[in-house]
Each structure stands twice: as structure tokens, then as C-alpha cells.
Amino acid sequence: MLVKRRLILLSSAAALATGSVAAQSSDSGGPAHAEPPATPGSTQRKPAPRDAYVYIGWPQDGQVITGTRFKVWFGTRNFGVAPAGVARPNTGHHHHLLIDTSLPPMDEPIPNNRTHLHFGSGQTETVLELLPGTHTLQLLMGDVDHVPHDPPVVSKRITVQVRAGRAPATMATAAPP
């Protein structure tokens, strides 16, 4: 199921310098990261299938995007997606989109903040709005408790260049890897 979320983000450089990153979800009117926190003491990592992987389908690495608002879609192979709090066999559980940040510790719940966006309803796409500049995007699957799997199911980290402009970025049709 595809669910759109509208996210407004400021560049991570400005965010780190000023602490003023904003993220909103039009689905609920509240912060995109306003999910229940992971259960304390639930950091035991769950196994992932050996052939499971996650990918960002669009934008692609090195893409120059004209317009600060653009769609990001992502997917999984050999692993399912489920909403947060629902335990299902062979699910990677749900996506976490990391924006302008490195991977978190693998033995702890994935942080729930403006650079680690949780897609706890099982979404596979979103609309981001980023300030002009260079940004990195990466996906990390988390289990029902937001803890990365063992081994971690993580996408390639991509870099995109966002340029100011009125023209919306068009989503190219790209086949999954």
C-alpha cells in the first residue's frame, strides 16, 4: 500500500548548526516522527533473510533535482513490510529513511528524530521538501521494535543535489535493482 506523507525538512547542515529542522506529516497534522517509542529493553536483534535487501527507487544516486519538493519511493526484495507494532514472519518490518546522517548503532532502536524518519504504517513512498544543496538518503529496515535486523537490511546511501526552482521534480520510471 502506498501512502503519501508530506515532509518539510531543512538542510541537515542548517539543522545541526541551528537545531531548527522541521518535519511534518499531512496525514496526522503532527510530526512525521511522532510514533510510540520503542519498548525499553527490546534491543535483541531479529534475524533477516540472507537475501533480503532494501533500495531507493527514485531519486537515483547523483540525481540533480530542480524544485525543493520531490517524491522518494523505496522498496524491498525478499522481505515484507508491515506497520509498526504488527509482528509478521519474514517482514523487514518497516522503512526508516536516514537524511543527511550516518547509520545509527545496530544494537539499539533506530533514533526517532528529524534525520531518521520512521514509516511505521508500512509506507513505500514519501514527498520530501529539502533546502537547495547536497543531501544524502539511505534506508534502514527496523523490526517491530525499531531495532535493525541481524544482519542489517540497509540500502545504498545515495547523494542528490537539490536546486531551487518552481518546476517539480518528475519521477523517472526506474526498475527496481
Q: How far is CA 82 from CA 32, 98, 128, 130, in A?
A: 17, 19, 22, 27
CB of 97 closer than 8 Å to CB of 117: yes
CB-CB neighbours of 148 under 10 Å:
27
pLDDT higher for 121 or 140?
140
Condensed to tens digits (0 to 9), the pLDDT of residues 28-86 reads 332 343 344 444 444 688 888 889 999 999 999 999 999 999 999 999 998 888 887 77
The percent of residues in the chain predicted with pLDDT above 90, rounded, is: 46
> What mean pLDDT do residues 92-118 have?
92
Residue 148 has pLDDT above 70, yes or no: yes
Residue 176 has pLDDT above 90, yes or no: no
Does the pTM exceed 0.75? Answer: no
* Residue 74: per-residue pLDDT: 94
* Residue 28: per-residue pLDDT: 32
Q: What is the mean pLDDT of the chain?
A: 76
SS3 17: helix
Give me the helices (H) in 2-152, please.
12-18
Chain centre distance of CA 104: 13
Domains and CATH numbers, the chain: 12-32+48-163 (2.60.40.10)
Residue 24 has pLDDT above 70, yes or no: no
* Residue 27: per-residue pLDDT: 35
